[in-house]
Amino acid sequence: MDTAATDGRRKRSETSRQRIVEAMIALVGEGHMSPGAEQVATRAGVGLRTVFRHFADMDSLYASMALRLEREYEDWLDPFEGPDWRAKLAEMIERRLGTYEKLMPYKRAADGHRHSLPTIQRNYGQRLAMMRERLVAIMPPAIAEDPILLETMDLLLSFETWQRLRLDQHLPPPQARAVIESAVARLTEAVSP
């Protein structure tokens, strides 16, 4: 009996925790960059105390949201199938820009907390390093071994470039994509196939 009751409490607790993270994701996805605990509790259908029973503070809830979203979008790390570096680069651009667009509100919200959350800072640094490694792995030596070309390519394919084009320059996704693809094509046109 005690084991069944304990298992039931654990299951309800885990369900509440998941609902709180899902509520946070929904609110940020709707444009609330810094939702309060009361908003999250209301959306999750739990009490405010339940939120803080599962999360020490809102920063830890942001960290949980970021980790959950990372797991959902890991498929863009699948191996590239293109026959050459140009085809692989086109696949990389497609995956990155699609992911950036989907994750933009969450990335912006997490960035607001990155300075105070070692977990988000560490994950951000690891993600940048991994993205750079994948870029270097598909680039021909003419780009991979040229520090200026490589840095320029890394910048063009960054979330920050996408965010600037989309939010600061107010470009719709197809036009922002065209800007990046055009810049990459011009940067790589002199490189042998």
Question: Do 180 and 86 belong together in one domain?
Answer: yes
Question: Do 50 and 140 belong together in one domain?
Answer: no
Question: Do 84 and 173 belong together in one domain?
Answer: yes
Whether residue 62 is contained in a domain is answered as: no
Q: How many domains does the chain have?
A: 2
Whether residue 193 is contained in a domain is answered as: no
Residue 161 has pLDDT above 80, yes or no: yes
CATH label of the domain that carries residue 7 = 1.10.10
pLDDT digits (tens, 9 = 90+) for 59-103: 788 878 878 887 777 766 788 999 999 999 999 999 999 999 988
- What's residue 126's pLDDT? 84
Q: Which two tokens stand for residue 148?
A: 């200026």
Question: Do 77 and 47 belong together in one domain?
Answer: no
Average pLDDT over residues 167-188: 97
Look at the alpha carbons of 140, 142, 147, 151 in this order and tell me if their dihedral is positive or negative: negative
Residue 119 has pLDDT above 80, yes or no: no
Which residues, 6+ apart, have CB-to-CB distance to 85 below 8 Å? 138, 139, 140
Question: Do 119 and 27 belong together in one domain?
Answer: no
Residue 35 has pLDDT above 80, yes or no: yes
How does DSSP assign 48-82, residue by residue? HHHHHHH-SSHHHHHHHHHHHHHHHTGGGGSPP--
Question: Do 20 and 95 belong together in one domain?
Answer: no
Question: Do 47 and 126 belong together in one domain?
Answer: no
- What's residue 4's pLDDT? 62
Question: Do 50 and 80 belong together in one domain?
Answer: no
Q: Whole-number mean pLDDT of the chain?
A: 88
Question: Do 86 and 167 belong together in one domain?
Answer: yes
Question: Do 84 and 139 belong together in one domain?
Answer: yes
pLDDT digits (tens, 9 = 90+) for 141-159: 999 999 999 999 999 999 9
Question: Do 80 and 32 belong together in one domain?
Answer: no
Structural domain boundaries, residue 88: 70-188
Cβ count within 10 A of residue 145: 11
